[in-house]
Structure 1
Amino acid sequence: MLKRICVGVVLAPLFLSVLFFLPPIYLVVMLAFILALASFELLRATQVAHHNGLYIFTAIAAAMIPFGCWRWGYGGWYIRAVSLALMAVAFFFAVRQYGTEREIKFSEIVVCLFGGIAVPLFLSSLIPLKMMENGRFLVLLPVLCAFTTDIGAYFAGVFLGKHRGVTKVSPNKSVEGYIGGLLTGGLFLLGYGLLLRQFAGLSVELHIMALYGILGSAITELGDLSFSLVKRQFGIKDYGTLLPGHGGMLDRFDSMIFAAPMLLILVELIPAF
C-alpha cells in the first residue's frame, strides 16, 4: 500500500500537469509512451509476445496513433494507414509462417489489432478533448470520472458491500460497490461543473455534467471488468510491474480506455459548456 501511495503522489501531479497546463504535444508524447508499453503488456499477457516479433510492430503502431490524432485528426487518413499497415504486416508473417513452429494464429492477429489500434485509438480520445475550446477543462473529464468512480466503488464496497459475487470476473466486488461508483462519478462531475462555473467563468449545464458522470462511470466500471476478464482468462494477477503497487500501464489505465471515448462522444453530441 505504501508503494502504491508513493507512486500515486509522484505520478498523479505529473499526469495532471501534462493534461491541464502543457500544450497538446506533451500529452501526445506521454500517450505514445504509455500505449507502446500497454500494447506490449497486452501481448505478453495473452501469450502473443513470443518469438514471432509481432509485439514490436504492435508497439510501434500503438505509439504512432496519438501523433496521427494530433497532427491529422482523430480518425483521419493517418489512422487508417497505420491500421492497414499493422494488419498487413501481421497477416504477411502469418501467411509466411503457416505450418511451421512459429505459426501465428488468427486470434493472435486480433489481439495485435486490438492492442495496436483499438486501445490506442480509444485512449487517444484525450487528444481531441484537449484540442477543443476549453480543452484543458474538457480533457480532465474522463480522468476525473475514472478516478472518482474507482475510489467510490472501492469505499462503497468496503463499508457497505454485502451482495458480492455479482460476476466471477471480480467475485469480491459488490452491488453496493458498483452503485457507489456510479453515484460518486455522477456527483463528482456535478461538483466539477460547479467549480467551473465559480472559478473558470464558464456557463455549465449541470444536468449534462451529471449525465457525463453517470454514463462515464458505467463505462469505466465495464472497462475495469473487461481487462480483468483478460487477466482471469490468462491466469495473471497484473499486466506488469512497472508501477509498484499499481501493476503495469494497462492496470492503471484500463478503465480510462473506455471512459475517454465515451466522454468524447458525449461532449461532441451534448456539450455541457
Structure 2
Amino acid sequence: MLKQRVVTALILGVLVLLGIFFLPVQIWSIVVAAVVALGVREWGALLSLSRNGTIVLAALAVLPVVLVGFHPPHGDGLMILLCIYLCSVFFWAFTASSWLYIKPDLRGGSMAYLVGITLFVPTSLAMVELKRAHPGLLVLAILAVCVADIAAFFVGRKFGKRKLAPNISPGKSWEGFYGGVAGVLIFFVACAIWAVPQVSARIGLISVILFAVVYALASVEGDLFESFIKRKAGVKDSGTLLPGHGGVLDRIDSMLSTLPLAGALLAAWQYF
C-alpha cells in the first residue's frame, strides 16, 4: 500500500508541477475547476446530496475560479477576494473546529451545500491567484501541506502512542501531530530565509513562525474534518480515483483548510 501511495503521489506531483509552471493561468483555472468538480462529486456522495443538487453545487463552485482565471481581480476585486478567504478562515477557526467536537450530521441538508461552497471556492481561488502572483508561491503552499503529512506520518509511525482523535481518525497520534507542526515550522522558516526573504523582511520572522504554526494546525484540522465527514457517511475513502490515496477529497482535504490562509496573506499583501 505504501509503495502504491508513493507512486501515485509522485505521478500527481509531476503533473501538478507541470501544470503550475507551464500552463497559462486561464488554462490552469480550468484544470482547477475540473478538480473541484470531481471533489464536489465526492462531497455530494458523502453528504447524500441528490444528483441535481450536486450538479448545481459543482456549477456554483466552479464558476468563480474560471471567472477569476480569465479576469484578474484588481482594487475592490482584491478586497472581495480577501473577504472570501477570511470567510474560509473564520469557518475553519470556529465552525469546523466546534463540529469536530459536536459531530453534527450534515447529510442531506441545506448546510451541506453552504459548507461545500465554503470549502471549494476559496481554495480554488487561492490555487489560481498564488500561481498568478508567482508559480513558486503555490508550490510552497502545497509543499507545506505535504511536509505536514509526511512528517506527521513518519513521526507518528515511529513514536506515536497517544491518540489524537480516536473517535474520528484512530491512526493519528499527538506525537505525529507535533512532528507535523515541527516540520511545517522548519519548512516555512527555511523558505523565509532562503526562498522568499522579502516576506520575512516585510512582516518579520516572528510573524512567519506564527503563520507556520497556524498553517500546520489548519492542515491537521482539514484532514480531521474530512475524516469526520467520512465517518458519518460510513466509508473509509471519499472515492477510488487515486490508487493508494482514495478519492480527490482524500488528497486535497488539508489544502481546503490551508490554501485560503496563503491566499489571504497574498491578497492582503497585494491590497495593502
TM-score when normalising by structure 1: 0.77
**Structure 2 CA distance, aligned partners of 1:23 and 1:195?**
27
Q: 1:186 to 1:31 in 2, by over 3 A?
A: same
The aligned counterpart of 2:5 is: 4
Q: 1:26 to 1:193 in 2, by over 3 A?
A: farther
The aligned counterpart of 2:211 is: 212
Query: What is the RMSD of the two structures over their aligned residues, measured on CA atoms?
Result: 2.7
| Structure 2 residue 25 is the aligned partner of structure 1 residue 24 | yes
Contact 1:32–1:65 at 8 Å: present in 2 too? no
How many percent identity over aligned positions?
Answer: 30
Contact 2:127–2:259 at 8 Å: present in 1 too? yes
The aligned counterpart of 1:71 is: 70
Segments of 5+ residues of structure 2 without an aligned counterpart are 82-105
Q: 1:211 to 1:22 in 2, by over 3 A?
A: farther
Residue 36 of structure 1 deviates from its aligned partner by 0.4
Of the two structures, which has the highest relative contact order with CA contacts closer than 8 Å and spacing of 6 or more?
2
One-letter code aligned to 1:39: V
Contact 1:156–1:180 at 8 Å: present in 2 too? yes
Q: 1:65 to 1:269 in 2, by over 3 A?
A: closer
Residue 73 of structure 1 deviates from its aligned partner by 5.0
Q: Deviations over 1:182-212 (max 9, x none)?
A: 1101111222334426xxxx54528244333
**Structure 2 CA distance, aligned partners of 1:243 and 1:166?**
25
The aligned counterpart of 2:97 is: none
Moved more, 242-251 or 62-71: 62-71
**Structure 2 CA distance, aligned partners of 1:8 and 1:136?**
20
* 1:53-132 superposed matches below 5 A: 53-72=52-71, 107-115=108-116, 117-124=117-124, 125-132=126-133
Q: 1:263 to 1:147 in 2, by over 3 A?
A: same
The aligned counterpart of 2:158 is: 159
* Superposition misfits of 4+ residues, deviation over 6 angstroms: none
Segments of 5+ residues of structure 1 without an aligned counterpart are 81-104
Q: 1:166 to 1:114 in 2, by over 3 A?
A: closer
Residue 230 of structure 1 deviates from its aligned partner by 0.4
What is the total number of aligned residue pairs between the two structures?
237
One-letter code aligned to 1:211: L
The aligned counterpart of 2:185 is: 186
Contact 2:26–2:70 at 8 Å: present in 1 too? no
**Structure 1 CA distance, aligned partners of 2:33 and 2:17?**
16
* 1:188-267 superposed matches below 5 A: 188-196=187-195, 203-205=198-200, 207=205, 208-267=207-266
Q: 1:27 to 1:212 in 2, by over 3 A?
A: farther
The aligned counterpart of 2:94 is: none
**Structure 1 CA distance, aligned partners of 2:199 and 2:259?**
20
Q: Deviations over 1:104-163 (max 9, x none)?
A: x99533212332x2222121212222222xx22222232011110011111111111121
Larger radius of gyration: 1
Q: 1:160 to 1:212 in 2, by over 3 A?
A: same
One-letter code aligned to 2:11: V
